[in-house]
Amino acid sequence: MRLTSFAAFLLTAVVARSALGADEPEQSLSIYTRADIEEIVKGYIQEHPEIIKGALEAAQRHEAGAAQERAQKALVTDSDVTFHDPMSPKLGNPKGDLTIVEFSDYQCPYCKGMFDGLSKVVADDGNIRLVIKEMPILGEPSTFAARAALIANRLGKYQGFHDALMAFHGQLSDDIVIRTAADMHIDLTALKVQDKSPQITAIDAALTRNRLLANDLAIDATPSFVIGNTIYRGTLPDAALKQAIADARKHGS
């Protein structure tokens, strides 16, 4: 039910009963025309605008709670693609006792802002497996960079390429991505000529899986994280990141 329909239904029921009188026996609403009811509702809204606000806020809270519940269920049903997709780059300790999954975009300033802190936490901890989900949501340069990163991953050169693009501050372009790859002897010819080879097809399929997974997990922005069995949407300061890691270990996830 749409929020406006929900609010109108709620108000119609309350106001119509009020119009009948609390002490009057139940009567059929058929004695009122549609215009009568609309006029009653309009007058009631004008006198009690807080009713609409309260109804909408309640509906929004209900929907947010339902979305969170669906996302947590999806985290279970989509666990293989979340944690073990062979196309998703893995950093940190491959045998770590805790997995962090990051949804990231190479043009996202918040991802870049977290990069140094996240890298240090993973390195200092020494027992974290970091899975990167390339999630290009900020335009064509983001998509080109994400596809290039997955080529680098297939060549075993992801870490350096990823670090270089995260460290770059400025307007990202295909040329910058190509130059960065060339410095690391990563051949992006297939991307430049829009090759439809099995390699590129597999990379594009991986990006599609990431996008569908993000939708299932109610993730619509970068950075976002799965730490253990908990979804975190948005930037995590170092202290919050460390606490999330401690909580995940405490609960055995």
Question: What pLDDT score was predicted for residue 77?
Answer: 84
3-state SS, 110-147, equals HHHHHHHHHHHHHHHHCCEEEEEEECCCCCHHHHHHHH
Residue 125 CB neighbours (<10 A): 16
CA distance 187 to 62: 50
Taking the chain (253 residues) in runs of 10, the rounded mean pLDDT of each run is: 48 51 51 76 76 66 63 81 95 95 97 96 96 96 96 95 95 95 91 78 95 93 93 93 95 73
Contact 162, 152 (CB under 8 A): yes
What is 80-250's CATH topology?
Glutaredoxin (3.40.30)
Question: What pLDDT score was predicted for residue 251?
Answer: 83
Question: What pLDDT score was predicted for residue 150?
Answer: 97
Contact 216, 71 (CB under 8 A): yes
Question: What pLDDT score was predicted for residue 20?
Answer: 46
CA distance 236 to 34: 52
CA distance 60 to 240: 26
Strand duo 98-104 + 224-227: pairing: antiparallel
| pTM of this structure | 0.72
Question: So where are the chain's domains?
Answer: 3-71, 80-250
Contact 104, 142 (CB under 8 A): no
Question: What pLDDT score was predicted for residue 41?
Answer: 78
